[in-house]
Structure 1
């Protein structure tokens, strides 16, 4: 089966969310060969999952406004997390049943993808059976939060590449007490670039998912000014 791979670069969270919901609605009416993987970075934003998480904010709304960090409630699983520049975010818009994936298999595959990307720069990451995502020792490197509508997945994974970890210190990330976040840059002691990580992305995707990927430009995906701008 074919799937599209589209790198949107740095894009506002709400714009990416609106695009995801449009693609989910399109995908539910189409057959195999119409799945899409969005690759993005976001300006600084906290998102709250279905279980909430505002209580895990450790700073005031005034402080966040001064830092220009929005707080956005969404319908993915989990509680609060942070997105910012230097974090690789991937949103697969796929019909799980048509791809032959159970929800558990899908989550496991997203974890395997992050483990493989980390290994490309010599970082050994692993699962924690108690908590989804990937870890380096006791430090969390990547997070997963998904939603499924009409059998189609959206939201996805976030892998910390070279972002500032300071904003994670202003929340209780993922609602887990005492969790420290890490990044590929922190683990290697070198400035790992986003291009280093995305260079092997398509190859890893094709090994892990039942798709043959073709890259498309943003205007091929959604020819609206909202995405192009």
Structure 2
């Protein structure tokens, strides 16, 4: 069952995004780092540093990037869902996020929020729904109706999955995050059972008639993320960005 979400209702976004007891984000600037195409392991090291920084009292951050082709499997994921990934020559990484098998590659926008949920709302279920709300709003702004499916995380266009969410929490600081399919080349998913859902059909913004350029999508993600989580605004990430690959 597909549950559409009204993505153009600012009041609803405000209610979801500022549900923390003290509305701490209303006084905070989110730091955003926008990188190019970054190796998965390199991005993981970058995340680890940002998590340590946040645990030490640093700012919330959001990293937006793309990865060269890579398959990942969540910490409790079933290796059988990797299917024929081992024959493709594409790296396979056991990730510390929740969830099952997925694919990252060019044309997909990956977001890694590093947020202190203790200061916002220490509720993992709420956090996942907030990420979904960001993504539903983004694709809606780009002319693609989307929503949720009961019992299945992520964002859906009817029965087709356009975005995945897989998070990790360390002492109430978030890492890992979401992946939004932008370009229409989804061939990397063919070797696996994405998200552990047999027969799932993946789709993308371009495949649904929207723009296929990741760079064009980034401003919409930034705007929606700041709005849904209720930040006062955003500034460029102070930490050095990882070097992009070709």
1:116-152, Cα deviation, whole Å (9 max, x unpaired): 1101221001011110000011111100000001110
What is the root-mean-square deviation of aligned Cα atoms in Å? 1.6
User: Match for 2:239 among 204, 221, 224?
Assistant: 221
Would the aligned equivalents of 1:20 and 1:154 in 2 still touch at CA under 8 Å? yes
Shift of 1:201: 2.4
Partners of 1:102 and 1:210 in 2: CA distance: 16
Partners of 1:83 and 1:200 in 2: CA distance: 20
Partners of 1:132 and 1:201 in 2: CA distance: 18
User: Match for 2:67 among 35, 42, 49?
Assistant: 42
User: Match for 2:224 among 193, 201, 204?
Assistant: 204
Partners of 1:113 and 1:154 in 2: CA distance: 16
Partners of 2:48 and 2:177 in 1: CA distance: 13
1:30-55, Cα deviation, whole Å (9 max, x unpaired): 06xx1110001101000010122321
Structure 2 residues without counterparts, runs of 5 or longer: 1-27
Partners of 1:163 and 1:13 in 2: CA distance: 21
1:74-119, Cα deviation, whole Å (9 max, x unpaired): 1100111000111111100001011235211111110011111101
Partners of 1:163 and 1:192 in 2: CA distance: 7
Question: What does 1:42-191 align with in structure 2 at a 5 Å threshold?
Answer: 42-59=67-84, 61=86, 63-65=87-89, 69-188=90-209, 191=211
- Find the residue that maps to 1:196 and give its secondary structure: helix
- Find the residue that maps to 1:107 and give its secondary structure: helix
Partners of 1:115 and 1:22 in 2: CA distance: 29
After superposition, the Cα gap between the structure-2 partners of 1:114 and 1:151, relative to the gap in structure 1 and judged at 3 Å, is same
With the length of structure 1 as denominator, give the TM-score of the two structures: 0.89
With the length of structure 2 as denominator, give the TM-score of the two structures: 0.83
Partners of 1:228 and 1:196 in 2: CA distance: 21
Would the aligned equivalents of 1:126 and 1:134 in 2 still touch at CA under 8 Å? yes
Shift of 1:215: 3.3
After superposition, the Cα gap between the structure-2 partners of 1:60 and 1:141, relative to the gap in structure 1 and judged at 3 Å, is closer
Partners of 1:172 and 1:85 in 2: CA distance: 19
- The answer to whether structure 1 residue 24 and structure 2 residue 39 are counterparts is no
Shift of 1:192: 2.2
Partners of 2:185 and 2:134 in 1: CA distance: 22
Would the aligned equivalents of 2:73 and 2:79 in 1 still touch at CA under 8 Å? yes
How many pairs were matched up? 217
Structure 1 residues without counterparts, runs of 5 or longer: none
Partners of 1:222 and 1:199 in 2: CA distance: 20
After superposition, the Cα gap between the structure-2 partners of 1:102 and 1:60, relative to the gap in structure 1 and judged at 3 Å, is closer
After superposition, the Cα gap between the structure-2 partners of 1:163 and 1:17, relative to the gap in structure 1 and judged at 3 Å, is farther
